[in-house]
C-alpha cells in the first residue's frame, strides 16, 4: 500500500498484526477495547481531522478502536477516519448488536466484501434472549464464512473468547455479484478493500489511485441489503415487538408534552449532582481544604527555601498565579472533580438511551441557529466547563456547525465555576431582575446563533440518528467511560493550563495586567456605570471566569448594577485555559475573532443595558 | 405524501427517496423503496421518528419531507 493509506498513527506502533475494532454506534466496542488493552491506551487525533482514535499495543499486536459507523464510506469525518483505519487493518473484529442485526449486518457484509480477515462478536446476546430473538449462530457462521462468538460484553462474557478466536479470522464469503465488479478494478487499484470502495463511489480512495470513482454505490448497496435480508430470514427469528414499556418510555422522552417535564427533571437531577454536590461540597473539600489548605502552603514552603517568592522565578512557580500553586489547585482541586461529575452524568444519560432522544426533542429549536439536535451535547457540557464543550464540538457533522457551537459556548454559556457565583448574586436581587438577566443572555444566544447561521456559507447537516433502546445504565460501564474520558480530557487540558498560567504570570510581572486594568477602567465607569474597581474583576475574568465573577461580590452594587455586571461577566472572554483549547481546536483566526468579539459583545450589550436602566 | 404527513402509529411503505445521499444512508439502516415503516412519533415542526425492524430512527424535518411514502 502507498504511504497515505496507512496513516501516521500506524507508524508509532511497530506491530506484526493490526487489529481493528469495527461496529455501529452503541454496540459496545469500547468495552472490548478497554478489556483487551487494560489501562494503557493512546489516543491520537487522526491526521487532518479532529476525530480521535484509540490505540494500544498488546504483545506483538496493535489494537485500534474506530468511531461507530453504519458503513465504510465517507459521509462524514468519522466515517472517513474509520474507513482509513479499516483499510490498514490485518484483522477486523466486527462487533454487532444481536437485537439490531437488520442494521448491523450491512457493515459486516461490507467488510466481508472487502475480504479483510475478520471475526464477528455477536454482542447483547442477553438482551436478544430476553426479547425472545432466536439466532441460529451456526447457520449465520456458514452463510457469512467467518467465526462468530456470542458475547454479552457488559457482563464480561465472551470477551476473552473473541480475542482467542483472532487466529481463526477469515475473509468470509463475499457477494458474487459484487465480486465480479471488484475483480475488474483490481488491475487499477492495489488492494481488494480499496477496489470495493472505488466501486462504491468513494472519490477519496479513487483519487489516491488517480482514477475516477465508479457510480455503482447504490447498486452495490442494494445487493448487499438484499443479501442481508436473505440471511436474516434464514437465521433470525424475531417475535412481534414486546418491548412495550421501553417503547412507551422512549416516546415519553420524545414528545414535547411529556419530554419537556422529563428534561426539566433530568436537568434538576444534574444540577443537584454537579451544581450542588460536586461544585459545592466536593470542590469545597478538594479546592479549599486540601489544595489551598495543605498543598499550597507546603509547596510554597518547600520551593520558598530555594527561591524567594518575590523574585521573578518565585512568582512564576509559587506566586498568585504560580504553576505549582494556582495551576495545580485549579487542575486537581476544581477541574478534576467537576469534569468527573459531568462525565458521570453524561455517561448515565448516554447509556440510558436518553441523549439521542433529547437531541431529537431539541432538534427544531437548534435548527433556528444552524445546528441540529446533536449539538445539545457540547452545549450541556459547556455549562460544566467551556473547554469540555469546545472539545466535544468534534462530534458535530461539519466545520460550519462546529464554528457556530464553539462561538455560542465561548460567548454566552457560563461555566459551572461561574454559575455558582452568578446564582449567589442573583439570589440577592430577586426573581424579576434574575429573569431580566436570563432574558438578556438568551436574546444574545439567539442573535449570535441566527447571525452566524446566516453569515456562514453552506448549510448545516440535518438530524439523522438511530435511537438505541432505553436501557438501565450499568455502574461498571459508567465508571469505565467516566475514567477514560476524564483521563483523556485532563491529559489534553493540563498543558494549556500551564501555558495559560505562565502567560498570566508574565503579564503580572511585566505590569501588563495593571495596564489592562487602567485601560478598561474608563469604559467601566462612563459606559457601564459601574464602580472603577469592577474593571479589576473583568480583567481577572480573563484568567479564571469565576475569579471575575467572585471579584464582583465584594463591590457595593445596586440591584441593576448587579444585573449589568453579571451580563458583562457572562458574555466576557473565555478563561485563559479555554482560549488555549480554542486556539487548538479552531485555529488562531477563529479563536482571536471569538476572543476579541467577546470584548465587543460584552461591553456593548452591558453598556446598552446600562444606558437603558441606570 | 411524505414521511412528515404520517401520524403516530400510522404505517406506510416507502415509495421514493429522490436524494441519493439520503437514499444510501437509509439503505444502510435497511430502509429502501418498498420497506414498510411505522411512524413512532412526530414532533411538532420537528423530527419524525420512524420504526423499522426493531430500530427507531430520527430524521430531521427537512429530511423527512424528502422521503415519499404511500399507504
Among A78, A246, A257, A360, pick the best mutation site for testing chain B contact (most B Cβ within 10 A). A360
SS (H, E, C) A325-377: HHHHHHHHHHHHHHHHHHHHHHHHHHHCCHHHHHHHHCHHHHHCCCCCHHHHH
Alpha-carbon span A153 to A21, nearest angstrom? 14
What does DSSP say about strands B36-42 and B11-16: parallel, antiparallel, or unpaired? antiparallel
Torsion over CA of A214, A219, A221 and A227, rounded to 10 degrees? -140
Q: Is B40–A251 a contact, with Cβ atoms under 8 angstroms apart? A: yes
* pLDDT value for A37: 82
Alpha-carbon span A484 to A492, nearest angstrom? 12
Please give, rounded to a whole number of angstroms, the shortest distance from the CA of A380 to a CA of chain B.
Answer: 20
Q: Is B54–A218 a contact, with Cβ atoms under 8 angstroms apart? A: no
Q: Is A363 on the interface with B (CB under 8 A)?
A: yes
List the beta strands (DSSP E) in A165-257. 236-237
CATH of the domain at B49: 2.30.30.90
- Least CB-CB distance to B47: which of A102, A238, A360? A360
Residues of A in contact with B32 (CB under 8 A): 222, 225
**Residue B10: closest CA among B45, B43, B42:** B42
* pLDDT value for A424: 81
- List pLDDT tens digits, range A411-461: 999 887 787 778 888 888 889 999 999 999 999 999 999 999 999 998 888
**Residue A31: closest CA among A151, A129, A147:** A151
CA atoms within 13 A on the CB side of A553: 15
pTM of this prediction?
Answer: 0.82
**Residue A178: closest CA among A212, A221, A230, A143:** A221
Residues in chain A, pLDDT under 50: 1-8, 46-48
Residue limits of CATH 3.40.50.300 in chain A: 8-237
Sheet holding A17-23, edge to edge: A42-45, A52-58, A61-64, A17-23, A91-97, A118-123, A148-150
**Residue A259: closest CA among B10, B56, B43, B55:** B43
Give me the number of domains chain B comprises. 1
- All three cell numbers of A128: 436478544
Alpha-carbon span A216 to A197, nearest angstrom? 10
For residue A3, count other CB atoms closer than 10 A to its CB: 9
CATH class of this structure's domain A8-237:
alpha beta
DSSP B1-65: -BGGG--TT-EEEEEE---HHHHHHHHHTT--TT-EEEEEEE-TTS-EEEEETTEEEEE-HHHHH
Q: Which residues of B touch A (CB under 8 A)?
A: 20-25, 27-30, 32, 40-41, 43-47, 49, 52-63
Classified as helix, coil or strand, A578 is helix
* pLDDT value for A243: 61
Name the residue range of residue B38's domain: 3-70
Contact assessment for residue A349 and residue A355, using Cβ atoms and an 8 Å cutoff: yes
Give the chain A residue whose CA is nearest to the CA of B42.
Answer: A255
Instruction: Tell me whether residue A544 is exposed, middle or buried, using C-beta atoms within 10 angstroms of its C-beta: 0 to 12, 13 to 18, 19 or more.
Output: buried
What does DSSP say about strands A61-64 and A52-58: parallel, antiparallel, or unpaired? antiparallel
* pLDDT value for A371: 94
Alpha-carbon span A405 to A128, nearest angstrom? 38
Q: Is A463 on the interface with B (CB under 8 A)?
A: yes
DSSP A284-298: IIIIIIIIIIIIHHH
Q: Is B58–A463 a contact, with Cβ atoms under 8 angstroms apart? A: yes
Q: What is the mean pLDDT of residues B26-46?
A: 90
Cell numbers 474593571 correspond to A535
* pLDDT value for A13: 52
For residue A491, count other CB atoms closer than 10 A to its CB: 10
- All three cell numbers of A358: 433529547
Alpha-carbon span A361 to B41, nearest angstrom? 11
* pLDDT value for A39: 59
Instruction: Give kind and range of the element (H or E) at residue A229.
Output: helix A217-235
* pLDDT value for A4: 36
Amino acid at each position: 500500500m502507498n504511504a497515505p493509506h496507512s496513516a501516521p498513527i500506524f507508524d508509532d506502533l511497530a506491530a506484526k498484526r493490526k487489529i481493528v475494532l469495527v461496529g455501529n454506534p452503541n454496540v459496545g466496542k469500547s468495552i472490548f477495547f478497554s478489556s483487551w488493552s487494560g489501562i494503557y491506551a493512546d489516543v491520537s487525533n487522526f491526521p487532518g481531522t479532529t476525530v480521535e482514535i484509540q490505540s494500544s499495543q498488546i504483545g506483538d499486536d496493535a489494537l485500534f478502536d474506530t468511531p461507530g459507523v453504519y458503513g465504510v464510506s465517507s459521509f462524514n469525518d468519522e466515517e472517513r477516519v474509520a474507513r482509513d483505519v479499516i483499510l490498514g487493518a490485518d484483522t477486523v473484529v466486527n462487533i454487532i448488536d444481536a437485537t439490531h442485526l437488520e442494521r448491523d449486518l450491512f457493515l459486516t457484509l461490507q467488510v466481508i466484501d472487502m475480504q479483510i480477515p475478520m471475526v464477528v462478536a455477536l454482542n447483547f446476546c442477553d438482551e436478544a434472549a430476553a426479547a425472545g430473538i432466536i439466532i441460529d449462530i451456526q447457520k449465520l457462521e456458514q452463510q457469512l464464512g467467518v467465526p462468530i462468538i456470542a458475547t454479552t460484553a457488559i457482563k464480561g462474557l465472551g470477551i476473552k473468547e473473541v480475542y482467542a478466536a483472532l487466529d481463526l479470522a477469515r475473509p468470509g464469503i463475499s457477494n458474487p455479484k459484487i465480486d465480479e465488479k471488484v475483480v475488474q478494478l483490481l488491475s487499477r487499484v492495489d488492494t481488494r478493500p480499496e477496489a470495493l470502495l472505488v466501486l462504491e463511489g468513494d472519490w477519496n480512495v479513487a483519487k489516491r489511485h488517480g482514477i475516477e470513482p465508479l457510480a455503482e454505490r447504490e447498486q452495490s448497496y442494494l445487493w448487499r441489503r438484499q443479501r442481508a435480508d436473505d440471511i436474516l430470514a434464514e437465521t433470525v427469528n424475531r417475535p412481534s415487538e414486546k418491548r412495550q414499556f421501553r417503547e412507551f418510555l422512549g416516546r415519553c422522552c420524545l414528545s414535547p408534552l411529556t419530554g419537556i417535564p422529563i428534561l426539566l427533571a433530568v436537568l434538576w437531577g444534574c444540577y443537584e449532582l454537579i451544581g450542588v454536590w460536586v461544585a459545592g461540597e466536593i470542590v469545597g473539600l478538594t479546592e479549599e481544604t486540601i489544595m489551598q489548605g495543605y498543598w499550597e502552603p507546603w509547596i510554597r514552603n518547600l520551593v520558598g527555601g530555594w527561591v524567594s517568592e518575590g523574585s521573578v522565578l518565585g512568582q512564576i512557580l509559587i506566586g498568585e498565579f504560580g504553576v505549582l500553586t494556582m495551576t495545580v489547585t485549579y487542575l486537581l482541586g476544581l477541574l478534576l472533580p467537576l469534569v468527573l461529575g459531568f462525565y458521570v452524568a453524561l455517561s448515565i444519560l448516554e447509556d440510558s438511551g436518553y441523549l439521542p432522544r433529547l437531541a431529537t426533542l431539541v432538534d427544531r429549536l437548534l435548527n433556528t441557529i444552524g445546528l441540529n439536535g446533536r449539538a445539545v451535547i457540547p452545549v450541556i457540557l459547556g455549562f460544566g466547563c467551556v473547554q469540555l464543550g469546545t472539545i466535544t464540538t468534534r462530534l458535530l457533522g461539519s466545520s460550519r456547525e462546529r464554528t457556530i457551537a464553539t462561538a455560542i459556548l465561548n460567548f454566552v454559556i457560563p461555566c459551572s465555576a461561574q454559575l455558582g457565583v452568578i446564582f449567589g448574586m442573583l439570589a440577592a436581587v430577586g426573581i424579576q431582575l434574575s429573569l431580566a438577566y436570563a432574558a438578556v443572555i438568551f436574546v444574545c444566544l439567539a442573535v449570535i446563533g441566527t447571525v452566524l447561521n446566516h453569515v456562514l456559507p453552506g448549510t448545516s447537516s440535518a438530524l439523522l440518528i438511530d435511537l438505541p433502546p432505553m436501557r438501565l445504565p450499568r455502574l461498571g460501564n459508567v465508571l469505565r467511560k467516566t475514567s477514560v474520558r476524564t483521563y483523556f480530557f485532563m491529559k489534553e487540558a493540563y498543558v494549556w493550563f500551564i501555558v495559560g498560567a505562565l502567560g498570566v504570570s508574565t503579564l503580572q510581572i511585566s505590569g501588563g495586567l495593571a495596564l489592562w486594568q487602567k485601560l478598561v477602567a474608563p469604559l467601566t465607569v462612563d459606559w457601564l456605570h459601574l464602580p472603577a474597581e469592577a474593571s479589576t474583576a473583568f480583567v481577572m475574568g480573563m484568567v479564571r471566569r469565576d475569579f471575575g465573577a467572585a471579584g464582583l461580590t465584594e463591590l457595593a452594587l445596586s440591584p441593576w448594577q448587579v444585573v449589568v455586571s453579571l451580563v458583562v461577566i457572562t458574555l466576557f472572554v473565555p478563561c485563559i485555559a479555554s482560549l488555549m483549547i480554542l486556539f487548538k481546536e479552531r485555529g488562531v483566526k477563529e479563536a482571536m475573532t471569538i476572543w476579541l468579539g467577546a470584548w465587543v459583545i460584552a461591553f456593548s450589550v452591558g453598556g446598552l443595558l446600562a444606558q437603558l436602566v441606570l | 405524501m411524505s414521511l412528515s404527513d404520517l401520524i403516530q402509529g400510522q404505517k406506510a411503505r416507502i415509495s421514493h427517496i429522490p436524494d441519493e445521499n439520503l437514499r444510501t444512508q437509509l439503505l444502510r439502516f435497511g430502509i429502501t423503496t418498498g420497506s414498510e415503516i411505522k411512524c413512532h412519533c412526530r414532533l411538532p415542526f420537528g423530527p419524525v421518528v420512524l420504526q423499522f425492524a426493531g430500530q427507531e430512527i430520527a430524521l430531521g424535518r427537512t429530511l423527512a419531507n424528502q422521503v415519499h411514502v404511500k399507504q
